Structure 1
Amino acid sequence: DGLIQQCGETMKETINAKTVCGYYNSAGTYGLDSVKKKCLEWLLNNLMTHQSVELFKELSINLMKDLISSSNLFVMQVEMDVYTALKKWMFLQLVPSWNGSLKQLLTEADAWFARHKTALVWGRHRLQVEYDLPPLPNLLLLQYIISDLMSARIIARDSLIPSRFLSSVYEQQWFAMLRAEQDNDIGPQEINKEELEGNSMRCGRKLAKDGDYCWRWTGFNFGFDLLVTYTNRCIIFKRNTLNQPCSGSVSLQPRRNIAFRLRLASFDSSGKMICSRTTGYQILTLGKDQEQVVMDLDSRLLIFPLYISCNFLFTSLERK
Structure 2
Amino acid sequence: MIRQTQDNGRTGISSSWLIGLCLSFLMPLPLTFPQDDEPLFLRREQSDVRIRALGEEWNVHRVCLCQSTYFASMFRGAWRETNMDTIELQIPDENIDREALHEAFGALYRGSIFIPSGRVVTILATTSMLQLDEVIWQCGEVMKVTIRAQTLCSYDYSAESYGLQTIRTMCLQWLLENMMTQCSEKLLREVSQDLMKGVIDSSELLVMGVEMDVYTMLKKRDSEGTPFLGTEQGRAFVPVFQQLRFAYINCDTTRREQHAVRGQLHRHKQCSWRWEGFNFSWDLVVCYANQHIIFWYSAPNKSYSLGVSLLEQRKVAFHLRLSSLDRDGRAVFRKDTGYHMLSLREDQELEVMNLENQYVVFPIHVACNFLYLH
What residue number does 2:288 align with? 230
Q: How does 1:156-195 map to 2 (within 5 A)?
A: none
Report the aligned-residue RMSD. Answer: 2.8
Secondary structure of 1:216 counterpart: strand
What residue number does 1:259 align with? 317
Greater strand fraction, Structure 1 or Structure 2: 2
Shift of 1:147: 2.0
CA gap 1:309/1:301 in 2 versus in 1, 3 angstroms: same
Residues 160-216 of structure 1, C-alpha deviations (whole Å, 9 max, x = no match): xxxxxxxxxxxxx9xxx9xxxxxxxxxxxxxxxxxxxxxx94542122443110123
Q: Tell me the distance in 2 between the aligned counterparts of 1:237 and 1:144.
A: 22
What residue number does 1:312 align with? 370
Q: Tell me the distance in 2 between the aligned counterparts of 1:244 and 1:86.
A: 41
Gapped regions of structure 2 (runs ≥ 5): 1-132
Tell which deviates more after alignment, 293-302 or 19-28. 293-302
Shift of 1:77: 2.4
2:336 to 278, 288, 301: 278
CA gap 1:83/1:225 in 2 versus in 1, 3 angstroms: farther
Secondary structure of 2:180 counterpart: coil
* Larger Rg, first or second structure (1 or 2): 2
8 Å contact kept, 1:141–1:201: no
Greater helix fraction, Structure 1 or Structure 2: 1
What residue number does 1:41 align with? 173
- Aligned-partner residue type, residue 77 of structure 1: G
8 Å contact kept, 1:213–1:230: yes
Q: Tell me the distance in 2 between the aligned counterparts of 1:227 and 1:290.
A: 11
TM-score, with length taken from structure 2: 0.58
Shift of 1:218: 7.4
What residue number does 1:143 align with? 247
8 Å contact kept, 1:233–1:299: no
TM-score, with length taken from structure 1: 0.67
Q: How does 1:52-67 map to 2 (within 5 A)?
A: 52-67=184-199
Shift of 1:219: 8.5
CA gap 1:57/1:132 in 2 versus in 1, 3 angstroms: closer
2:151 to 19, 43, 47: 19
Q: Tell me the distance in 2 between the aligned counterparts of 1:282 and 1:68.
A: 23
Identical columns (%): 42
- Aligned-partner residue type, residue 207 of structure 1: L
What residue number does 1:9 align with? 141
Residues 43-99 of structure 1, C-alpha deviations (whole Å, 9 max, x = no match): 1111123333332232123221211121011121222222222222x32xx24xxxx
CA gap 1:31/1:310 in 2 versus in 1, 3 angstroms: same
CA gap 1:314/1:126 in 2 versus in 1, 3 angstroms: farther
CA gap 1:63/1:244 in 2 versus in 1, 3 angstroms: farther
Q: Tell me the distance in 1 between the aligned counterparts of 2:232 and 2:245.
A: 19
Give the structure, 1 or 2, with the largest relative contact order (CA under 8 Å, sep 6 or more): 1
Secondary structure of 1:82 counterpart: helix
CA gap 1:205/1:70 in 2 versus in 1, 3 angstroms: same
Shift of 1:152: 4.0
- Aligned-partner residue type, residue 134 of structure 1: P
Residues 130-178 of structure 1, C-alpha deviations (whole Å, 9 max, x = no match): 4152273x31222222223xx249xxxxxxxxxxxxxxxxxxx9xxx9x
8 Å contact kept, 1:221–1:314: no
Tell which deviates more after alignment, 272-281 or 206-215. 206-215
Gapped regions of structure 1 (runs ≥ 5): 96-111, 113-118, 154-172, 178-199
